[in-house]
Amino acid sequence: MRERQLQQLGLQHLCFPQVETKESMRGASGRRRRRRRRKRRRRREEVGCGKGCSKEVWGVEEEKGRRGEEEKEKKREKKGKKERKGRREEEEKKKKKGEKRRKEEEEGEEREEGEEREGRKKRLQLRRWQLQLEEKKERKKCRGGRRGCGCGGGNYSWKRRRRGRSAGEEEEAAAATVAAAVGREEGEEEEQGRKKRLRLRLQRWQLQLQKRKRGKMRKEGVGLWLRLQWLRWQLQQLHRRKKKRKERRVERERRGWAVVVAAVAAVATAAAAWRKRKGKEKEKERKREKGAAALIAVVAAAAASAAAVSVKEEEEEGSAVEGAAIVAAAAAVAVAAAFGKEKEGMRVRESK
């Protein structure tokens, strides 16, 4: 009964079985579509259909849509990675900026604390000098028991003041002194003069402090100057060592070139001596060949004269055959002599 009433109203109670209504179908349309797609994909994988399947079983359009959705999913993942990376970088930048700002604040606080400490030290020093001045003046007044001082000439008053200064007696005494000096003009003038002298003394001490600081700075400057001179000396030594190394390298190169030049000169001298010796040998050979040619010419001339005599004799005797043989021999000797002369001329031309 309750379920029927809820169905009439269009509502569903979680304790009862859920019934698909129009509203729930609208809300579950995405889930139902994804479920159908998964079923179709599983069916396609079981059947073994590929890209070429028909649109009735598992169309190409569905495959394209699936691939498009996968690409979109990849793009979304890439975009998410970029966004996460950008957020991490921004967080790191903010963290670095915060650390830098915190460090600067700490340095500023430390610097301010240091300045405060320095100021406190200076004020305490000035106050100490003021008290020392007052004690010195009191000691001068109390020395020897001056008239109207009210003491026995000792140094008890300023010692008591020093002891009682921590207990507040100094402030009370100063207040009493000021109250007593208000009603008297002479006391006021004296107080003003004292203050003026004290102010001048303080200024003098400040100048002395500045001089001391300058002296300290001057000492530091002298130390820096000595350091600079030492560095300059080191630099000069380095330049000298470099110069010496360069000179040694140049000397080695010069010696090397001298050795090379000496070797080249030795080779050239040896070549000239060898050429001279070869020329002498050629000259001796040429002279020897000339002597041989002259000897051959003399022999040929003698043979020719002998042949001529024999020819005449044979002509006279009538033996023509022997005369012809002698003439042939003489001709052969003359040809040999001529050939020797031609060979000598060729050698002379080659030598030139």
Confidence of residue 126 (pLDDT cuts 50, 70, 90): confident
pLDDT digits (tens, 9 = 90+) for 255-314: 888 888 877 878 888 888 888 888 888 888 877 777 776 677 666 676 667 666 665 665
Alpha-helix runs per DSSP H in 143-184:
156-164, 169-182
Predicted confidence band at 70 (pLDDT cuts at 50, 70, 90)? confident
The torsion angle over the Cα atoms of residues 306, 307, 313 and 317, rounded to 10 degrees, is: 140
User: For position 311, what pLDDT does the model report?
Assistant: 58
Mean pLDDT rounded to a whole number for the chain = 70
The pLDDT, as a whole number, for residue 56 is 47
pTM exceeds cut of 0.75: no
Residue 123: per-residue pLDDT: 81
The closest of 270, 294, 306 to 344, measured between CA atoms, is: 294
d(CA 225, CA 88): 52
Tell me how far apart the alpha carbons of residues 265 and 278 are, in angstroms, rounded to a whole number: 20
The mean pLDDT value for 63-78 works out to 80
Q: Which of 288, 291, 331, 292 is nearest to 308 (CA)?
A: 331
Determine the 3-state secondary structure of 155 from DSSP: coil
pLDDT at 109 over 60: yes
The yes-or-no verdict on residue 45 having pLDDT over 70 is yes
d(CA 296, CA 303): 10
115 pLDDT band, cuts 50/70/90, is: confident
Cα–Cα distance for residue pair 327/348, rounded to 1 Å: 32
Q: Give tens-digit pLDDT for 186-220.
A: 666 777 777 777 778 777 777 877 777 777 666 66
The region of weakest confidence among 49-58, 135-144, 168-177, 178-187 is 49-58
pLDDT value for 134 = 81
pLDDT on residue 195 = 77
Q: Show the tokens assigned to 331.
A: 């001709």
